[in-house]
Amino acid sequence: MNVMANRPRRLESYVGGQWIAGAKEGVPLLDASIGAPVAFIDSTGIDFKAILAYGRDKGGPALRRLSFHERAAMLKALGQALMERKEEFYALSTATGATRADSWVDIEGGIGTLLSYASKGRRELPNTRVLLDGDVEPLSKDGTFSAQHILSPLQGVAVHINAFNFPCWGMLEKLAPTLLAGVPAIVKPASQTAYLTELMVRRIVETGILPEGALQLVCGSVGDLLDHVEGQDAVTFTGSASTGQRLKTHKAIVQNSVRFTMEADSLNAAVLGLDAAPGTEEFDLFVKEVAREMTVKAGQKCTAIRRVIAPRSYSEALIESLRARLGKTVIGNPADEAIRMGPLASLDQREEVRARIRDISADAEIVAGDPDNPSVQSGDAAAGAFLNPVLLYCDKPGSASAIHDVEAFGPVSTVMPYDTAEEAVDLARRGKGSLVASVFTNDPAFAEEVVLGLAPFHGRVMIGNRVSAKSSTGHGSPLPGLVHGGPGRAGGGEELGGMRGVKHYMQRTAIQGAPTMLSAVTGRWMQGADARADGEHPFRKSLAELKIGDQLTTASRTVTLDDIEHFANFTGDTFYAHMDEEAAKANPFFDGRVAHGYLIVSFAAGLFVDPAPGPVLANYGVDNLRFLTPVNPGDTLQVQLTCKEINPRANAEHGEVRWDCNVTNQLGATVAQYDVLTMVAKTRE
């Protein structure tokens, strides 16, 4: 099927393993620039209860059979396959009103998020199907009863209800952590731009990379789908607060305690510092950032700057600078390469923004732009959803309400003056919770006061100044490793944030029992669990031979004063506690001169290392190193080394092994405790 044919086409949903058109012709979806039909959308006739069951019964088990590394490899392959097809997505994206730059954020930004989670999954997660959360909790004095928190995948389906402004990124940024967690998804894109989401899902399905049932797509209304969600399901929503609140209080969601994540209205603020006077680099950066956030995606970004908070004495100069910069924005059909800002996504969306501008005008005056008379270089000014950037000014923002309550989801911002840092924070807080705020300043004291004041009310705060100008990702860019979400009006949810986003789709459970039983469940050895010493040095074993709990108890070594002095002179670490008997005795932690901590670690390595070439390829780190008992001259050290965790790497001839290293003295007291990390070959040569 040629999805790029000029004639409008009926969108199809991908459910139950097949593409299905709605029973009706559907509602026409129009090109945002010229008003011509692009597609028709309808989901009538879909059995929504059945597609939930299909995801749970087909997709879920298939994903849960894979380890985190296998799921990460799946995301990488998918991201690479989509990147090869990106030009097809760009070509269709112009119909949504997006320029090439706008589409880059949506298309390659979304694919980049898949690839980022693929990389993070391989680097930060074990090659297992369960995650450990925190340390072992001892529950008995004799060590026979302990607890460990684990995270395991939900056994339901994640339902993602997305917004119109990012038809690709909005889907992929939710899919990446969902699939990495091992949970299947049903994606419901906003209708107006669903044709681009549908195209991308078609290409995803064609790759055959995802297990069947891992991804389903609904083009059109979700009907009674939410009536059938259960306690193991999750629902995410991006859109208006009113719709989100209605969904959040849906009977099935409330009764079944279904996980619900919402990203809603957000009156994001940008604060110009008191030090950032006209003529400073920060002032110029601020003007550039505000103008960019007003015009990228025609201001249709949940992270766009809606409120521009600036020192009163700089406001006039700021307005003039913004008016001049915005006036140079070339508006028209994004299929034209000269265009820098396209239309809004639909005529209905333009009328919605115009209505919100009228609401805001109760508190503010328009100082740049005419919302009723768009000026375009290309496209159809009457049939297209064009709107010039509109800048407003509110002279008394402290006593106003509409500017802090109403979001015009388009190229619209309001300048509001302040006199003190405290007042700037207060104005930003009146947004009642937002996704992001930015502060442009080169004054560390101002940054500290304002950022700490903003943080409880925002999911992200960006500080901009001359130092970070070239490398900064900007006010409006959600990043895979950072939390995307905000408190209060913004919905109270969190997405992305690296592995934090993965854990939203997993259940945290406290497992209690004897250490050996817990080790069997978690795949990690812990103190008190069974251990084995079969006479062969564990370092002589490949991954194929090594078992959790394989243990070595070493010979012993006595630490002498000559050892301590030699180590001090050799390394240059002549800290008084190692060199001065009288001063060391005056220290409340020591009885006299003590061995260096790193001398203890070095001696321990000398005791447990097997020197011959073999399966152990490299030592790549030490985790959780603690020195617990001072070592004096004459003390004797011994090491108990236990294979703690085995993590084979996918598509490699080696894996990581974590060893529990417990160093004791002649009295049996632990003097040092840490994990040794090694690379070990999968088989012996």
Instruction: Give me the active site residues, please.
Output: 263, 302
Q: In 3-state terms, what secondary structure has residue 263? A: strand
Largest separation between any pair of C-alpha atoms in the chain: 91
Q: Which two tokens stand for residue 470?
A: 């070239």
CA torsion, points 475, 480, 486, 489, in degrees to nearest 10?
80
**Residue 445 phi, psi (nearest 5):** -65, -40
H or E segment to which residue 640 belongs: strand 636-648
Tell me the CB-side half-sphere exposure of residue 495, using CA atoms within 13 A.
30
Q: Which two tokens stand for residue 232?
A: 């193991």
User: Which one-letter amino acid corresponds to residue 244?
Assistant: G
Task: Compute the distance between CA of residue 263 and CA of residue 242 in angstroms, rounded to an integer.
Answer: 11
* CA 184-188-190 angle, 5° bins: 155
Q: Are the beta carbons of 280 and 463 closer than 8 angstroms?
A: no
Q: Look at the chain and count its residues.
A: 685
Question: Pairing between strand 158-161 and 37-41?
Answer: unpaired
Task: Compute the distance between CA of residue 400 and CA of residue 423 in angstroms, rounded to an integer.
Answer: 14
Q: Please count the other Cβ atoms lying within 10 Å of the Cβ belonging to residue 140.
A: 10
Strand order in the sheet with 9-10: 9-10, 37-41, 27-30
User: Which one-letter amino acid corresponds to residue 564?
Assistant: I
Buried b (16+ CB within 10 A) or exposed e, 441-476: bbbeebbebbbebbeebbbbbbbbbeeeeeebeebb
Q: Which two tokens stand for residue 435?
A: 């996704």
H or E segment to which residue 170 belongs: helix 169-181
Task: Compute the distance between CA of residue 491 and CA of residue 247 in angstroms, rounded to an integer.
Answer: 12
Q: Please count the other Cβ atoms lying within 10 Å of the Cβ belonging to residue 574.
A: 11
Strands (E), 397-505: 412-418, 434-440, 458-464, 483-484, 495-496
Q: Pick from 47, 167, 147, 2: which is nearest to 97 by CA? A: 167
Helical H segments across 486-636, by residue range: 499-503, 515-522, 561-571, 576-579, 581-586, 597-608
- The phi-psi region of residue 643 (left if phi > 0; otherwise alpha if psi is between -120 and 50; otherwise beta) is beta
Task: Compute the distance between CA of residue 304 and CA of residue 248 in angstroms, rounded to an integer.
Answer: 25
Task: Compute the distance between CA of residue 173 and CA of residue 157 in angstroms, rounded to an integer.
Answer: 16
Q: Which two tokens stand for residue 577?
A: 């506690």
Buried b (16+ CB within 10 A) or exposed e, 385-423: bbbbbbbbbbeebeebebbbbbbbbbbbbbbbbbeebeb
User: Which one-letter amino acid corresponds to residue 128?
Assistant: T
Q: In 3-state terms, what secondary structure has residue 113? A: helix
Looking at the DSSP bridge assignments, the partners of residue 645 are: 658
